[in-house]
Chains A and B, each alone.
Chain A
Amino acid sequence: MSNGSVDNVELVNDAPRNGSAPGPRRRATAESMAAQQREISVSEFFMKNRHLLGFDNPRKALLTTVKEAVDNSLDACEEAGILPEVWVHIEMVGENRFKVGVQDNGPGIVKKQIPSIFGKLLYGSKFHRLRMSRGQQGIGISAAGMYGLITTGKPVKIISKTSIRKPAHYFEIQIDPKKNKPEILNGKGEGVDIPPNEEGRKYIADHGIEWVEHYETPEGQKPEPLASGTRVTIELEAIYKRGRGSVDEYLEQTAIANPHVTLHYLDPDGEYRTYQRSSQNMPPEPKEIKPHPYGVELGRLVAMLKDADGATLSQFFTGSFSRVSPAVARKICETANLSVRTSAKKVGRGEADALYKAIQETKISAPTTDCISPIGEENLLKGLYNVVPGEFFCSATRPPAVYRGNPFQVEVALAYGGVSNVKKVTLEALREMLAESDARTLRQFIISSFDGLGADAADRILKAAEMPNRMSPAKLKKGAVEQLYHAMQHVNLSEGATMQVLRYANRVPLQFQPAACAITQAIMQTNWRSYGLSQSRGSLPNGPLTVMVHLASVWVPFTSESKEAIADYPEIAKELRLGLQTVGRKLGMFLRRRLKVKQEVERRAIFMRYLGEVAGAVSALNGSDRDKVYADLLRVAERKTKEADAKFDKHGRRVETPEEFGGNVLIVTHESPLPAGGAVAS
């Protein structure tokens, strides 16, 4: 996908190109070729490019569909200033066939827009503007609808409601695969309005669609109705499998990075869970900015020049870019040997080239950075705490910085301790996961199914279960599954666990291609040993910890079109490094202190053990009062080990105050899980 500023990409209506080139010998005539030239259908284009669009395989297709819909919902809610609440329902409707329904409490969509949004490939509002949004990630909800249509023949179903009193609009839409145009199937091509009453409810039930009418409220309270919102239902061929790269993972990670969101998830197995929002604060609305000259590639510059109807170069530069004053515009033009009064539209290819070079040579002040809306240190803590178990949490939001004229901001949060997913899984779930797994060996199954588990941990589990590594997961007998389950519950994993890394770009989890990503590289290059973790050179550190890294930017530099890994710009790498070091230092402090307290507690215990004997012997030797000697010695012992006293909780663990760590730290004690954000100091 190019960054071109074109409103509507109408693939089908492109005039067929004339492919004949002059050559020494004509092998074909224009006429003979014309016979072969035909419209490329959208569906053909789609299927050819599905790997770029996130539909490489049936499992990923399910994820991409959910992701497109949820990202749209969150973007719409935030833009409208509504605290987002999203319902994700996935239902299995046949073999390898799923119905995905995603509903939000957003502003809804006006009736006449609905068909284009869901029935036209590459039709969106976020593609062309420079503003931090999730939408940049995907290729649009209509692609998911297209995939559904191709694989099941079923249309996309949309219900959207913009106000509490008004009726909801209901559309069944499919893309005309020849023309890239929406085709409305219901209401004689007009859609249907569903009134907000009993009749409407009956209509919904009769048409195999759903609509969540009320928020979940505690029992006894009056249910609060949803004033507005949108629900998209897509039926598609897919495979549902938990573990890495799954829908479950995406939703969980989304909940972590978006603590202002409430997510309800009904999975295909009928399991229902809710990630309750832990923050009532909407992220500040990101401002839209004009591009900075440094961030504009040559092709984009050419396109922008073409669009600048009637403007002079001076007007073009000052009007289309941020941070370009008339003086800066003149400087650019002078360097490019062009007059500021040249009409922008008339700039030729060579001149554009000169302008592009001139921009790079001209000193232009950095763009404003208020267009970025970070998650914020406090919300990072809340989000992570809400979802990831741990004893110690800390976070750091770096100040905004700029790469190639694009403002960006790095955020890092860390959770230490807690129980691995391996321990949380139920025997039932394990059985299912084994049945679903296409891993060739048990070892591979364990590593790929559970985050934060390295090969070492997998080996230890298998050893404890007394099972060979190479055994195929599908062949496990019933008793063997129990044996494996038992081993998973009981093996001490905290030593063998590797750091779990959660990567985000603009609050959207990046679930694939970790090795290619600048975030992973920055983590591996950080020396975690100096923070008390073990780490072999050039790999992730070991230990029961999760690190989340968020890159927020108006334009996230992905390594490829599939948008799964962040490119390694030096400015970004530096910010990543600094952010990781900040949380690393805090973790190091925590671990050192914990170790110290633990040692002091042990030290005291050892001293105490011998005090009675010493007092007894002394008393026997010189006839002094044994109890007095004991009391005196006890006093000295306590003074000598006073570190150990620093506020013990019931379990002999020290209760620390976050202030000691310079803020943005959350320490959880066993018996009193703090209410989210309860001990946050910022």
Chain B
Amino acid sequence: MNGAHFVVKTLERLGVDTVFGYPGGAIMPLYDALVEARFRHILVRHEQGAALAADAYARASGKVGVCLATSGPGATNLVTGLANAYLDSVPVLAITGQVPTVLMGTDAFQEVDVLGITMPIVKHSFLPRTLEDLAWMLPEAYELAQNGRPGPVVLDLPKDLTQAIMPDISAGPRLVPQPNPVHPSSLRRAKQLFLEAKRPLAYIGGGVGIAQSETNLVNWLEHTGLPAVTTLKGIGSIPGTHPQCLGMLGMHGTKAANYAVQDCDLLIALGARFDDRATGKLKEFAPLAKVIHVDLDPAEIGKLRGAHVAYSGSFESFFEACSQPPAIDAWQKQCALWKSSNPWRYDAPGEGIYAPRLLHKLSEATRANAIVTCDVGQHQMWVAQHMNFNSPRQHLSSSGLGTMGYGVPAAIGAQFAHPDRPVICVSGDGSFMMNVQELATISRYKLPIKILLLDNQSLGLVRQWQELFFNGRFSEIDLSDNPDFVQVAESFGIPAMRFESADQEDLLVDLIRHKSGPLLIHALIDPKANVWPLVPPGAANHQMMEGVTT
């Protein structure tokens, strides 16, 4: 057995069933060993696609996503995907080929310092110099990716190690996950604040889904009656249709969510990190509230907003400590009133497709059962606002990094994680072009992914900001010379259709639901449509702008 076979065998032993990658010189011995692997390798068409597909596979499945690339340009092409996984705390193991150890540090062909380049965007990186190193580093890298707060881990693998005969080395002890510490004194203080509060609010971030605590969260919310708001990554941790869910807070959040945050007297941050898109002007965020901050990662606590009670234990131990329902009838009524008096409006005038209405119809029709991946821009915000999700593993959105080009490879990763579930990618005409080559992957593996391409012939979100905050001086946002997307899809062997009028919206939803195999729907939408409401940069969350829907 050589080092490459050892890698394959170890991945098999760890339970890996799918890896995404792209071969090249320095990783050829590993690709040779893959021929006999018991897991499948998915050949993407760009390494960024591999990293993003692995990221989405991990988000959708709850397992570690694995991607492979060769040295030099293969590894540098992974960088955006690794940063994406890092900022959204997604467990990804990236194995990169490296030039042989004797050539390392000589500027050899396709040699770059992968360890150095990726250092700030990974949880950790390993560079085995010997087979003994490889024996313990590979399983350690895999465990580390999913242990504690998850994140991407790189294993930079010199070619000669993969070719050398592997002596019989025991893999060494596996990383033992540390149980979450319980701090009784923090819990006592949390309980006290909880019982004193008149207007408590749960602020749910991505951490709840990562910890797979969403069922316990909903039980706790229902038991205590607390209203809840979510971040972009928290969407789905409480079903969007749940009466206690006020929706997403922040820049493009709902009015109900933002009003509740501004008025609450106790903010319970659960796996949330006070991101600037969520808080708006930090000094005026939840100005009346005491804060209980529950997060597995102590480094998140007090980073931006001080906490009256900080707790790094499990969500479950917190729920247990604060399980006595507080007397908050008036507050519950107020929140319900904010919600009922600010419903989304779908009665847009005009004859064109209205993206929010279309997405809402799609969500209703799929009964929030589909996995939806997004790209980045206005369409991403419309998905967050107008589609409902029952689980955070159904809404795959590049939240921390905001990576245009995420949607299509993410749909591929999600479909491999859940071959039997409907997967829909909602994209924009700008983002779609960033990883358009992955249509070939959809086609090759006959993935029944439905792509809904909302085409406003511009970089819509940038155009919106230029309109509102740069006096309407439009700079480099015009995409009216887009290719014919129907022809593009068809050239990859993917059926495609174009739609442009409101009365086709139902038909289009039907096609997405019932057509078998892959499909691209090219939906032309109003180039001037904006995302509302909007908290302008530097403003507090209750100072939302509301525009006219044309």
Q: Do A and B bind each other?
A: no
B interface, CB within 8 angstroms of A? none
